[in-house]
């Protein structure tokens, strides 16, 4: 029997991963913080579980998962829950203890590149030592360390900035004529949501993946170039305005290189640059609006 797929945190990325696994014929269970999404998940063939990582205990204690089941676990920690997850009353350590007692084939933590800190345009890869420069990055690094300490089957996937249909970075601000924060010359690292979902599953299935892997589209872009391209796609004639601060610019000045990861796990993004991915995202949004109007 194939292992049960357990998605902890079925948000923007988690829902994509879950849907991909369902299409592969897998038995997929996914957690949400509200029962409002249960009908939506069930319609997709996903068994929903109520669980909030920032709450006490393990919610309904994952009733669909038995102690004898072999698992593949994907933990998507939402940005809003990063700090609360490590509070003494939260469920992260309880979750780790529970997972450690189960026969998990792979347990993937989806993390972020915030652990690299500010590196003044330097190139970072999966092999680069994490040196978080702010409080949030330090907390994410601690979450990673606790995850890796839980066992050899526990692995970390660091992702560049997610974008895709329904989530285009900067779109709303540009449409409202607001100034963009950050240094226009600083680097922005991105990955399309479909590529991110494929990558996370590839890491779980790979026998050669390292304990830590990194994914981006491999083409960092200057923030100014990115936002000007989004503005062009929106047919905005006004120039993009930036409110630049040293802190905003420095936090995004690294460049992510996922080439070593791609070689190890045999994965490659479909959208090799933000331009290709944004065109697909805008087209998908347009198709959704058209069908909704009919």
Bigger pLDDT: 286 vs 75: 75
Please give the average per-residue pLDDT across 45-57, as a whole number: 80
pLDDT at 271 over 90: yes
Tokens of 71: 């698992």
pLDDT band at 238 (very low <50, low <70, confident <90, very high): confident
pLDDT at 250: 46
Three-state secondary structure readout of the chain:
CCCEEEEECCCHHHHHHHHHHHHCCCCEEEEECCHHHHHHHHHCCCEEEECCCCCCCCCCCCCCCCCCCCEEEEEECCHHHCCHHHCCCCCHHHHHHHHHCCCEEEEEEEEEHHHHCCCCCCEECCCCCCCCCCHHHHHHHHHHHHHHHCCCCEEEEEECEEEECCECCCHHHHHCCCCEECCCCCEECEEEHHHHHHHHHHHHHCCCCCCEEEECCCCCEEHHHHHHHHHHHCCCCCCCCEECCHHHHHCCCCEECCHHHHHHHCCCCCCCCHHHHHHHHHHHHHHHHHHHHC
Please give the average per-residue pLDDT across 119-132, as a whole number: 89
Q: Tens digits of per-residue pLDDT, 278-291? A: 999 998 866 544 33
pLDDT at 81 over 70: yes
pLDDT band at 63 (very low <50, low <70, confident <90, very high): low
pLDDT at 137 over 60: yes
% residues pLDDT > 90 (the chain)? 60
Say which range, 54-63, 195-204, 213-222, 271-280, has the weakest mean pLDDT. 54-63
pLDDT at 65: 66
% residues pLDDT > 70 (the chain)? 87
pLDDT at 96: 85
pLDDT band at 67 (very low <50, low <70, confident <90, very high): low
pLDDT band at 46 (very low <50, low <70, confident <90, very high): very high
pLDDT at 294: 26
């Amino acid at each position: 029997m194939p292992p049960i797929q357990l998605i902890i945190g079925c948000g923007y990325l988690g829902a994509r991963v879950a849907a991909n696994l369902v299409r592969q014929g897998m038995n997929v269970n996914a957690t949400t913080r509200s029962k409002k999404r249960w009908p939506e998940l069930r319609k997709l063939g996903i068994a929903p579980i109520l669980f909030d990582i920032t709450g006490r205990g393990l919610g309904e204690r994952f009733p669909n998962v038995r102690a004898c089941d072999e698992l593949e676990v994907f933990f998507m920690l939402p940005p809003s829950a990063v700090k609360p997850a490590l509070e003494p009353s939260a469920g992260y350590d309880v979750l780790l203890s529970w997972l450690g007692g189960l026969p998990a084939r792979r347990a993937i933590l989806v993390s972020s590149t915030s652990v690299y800190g500010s590196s003044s345009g330097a190139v970072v890869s999966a092999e680069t030592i994490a040196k978080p420069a702010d409080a949030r990055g330090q907390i994410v690094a601690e979450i990673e360390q606790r995850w890796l300490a839980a066992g050899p089957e526990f692995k970390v996937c660091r992702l560049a900035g997610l974008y895709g249909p329904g989530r285009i970075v900067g779109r709303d601000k540009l449409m409202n004529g607001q100034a963009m924060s950050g240094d226009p010359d600083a680097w922005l690292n991105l990955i399309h949501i479909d590529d991110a979902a494929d990558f996370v599953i590839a890491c779980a299935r790979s026998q050669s993946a390292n304990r830590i892997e990194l994914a981006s589209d491999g083409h960092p872009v200057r923030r100014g170039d990115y936002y000007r391209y989004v503005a062009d796609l929106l047919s905005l004639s006004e120039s993009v305005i930036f409110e630049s601060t040293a802190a905003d610019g420095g936090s995004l000045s690294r460049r992510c290189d996922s080439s070593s990861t791609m070689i190890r796990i045999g994965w490659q993004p479909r959208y090799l640059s933000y331009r290709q991915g944004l065109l697909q995202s805008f087209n998908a949004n347009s198709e959704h609006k058209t069908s909704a109007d009919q």
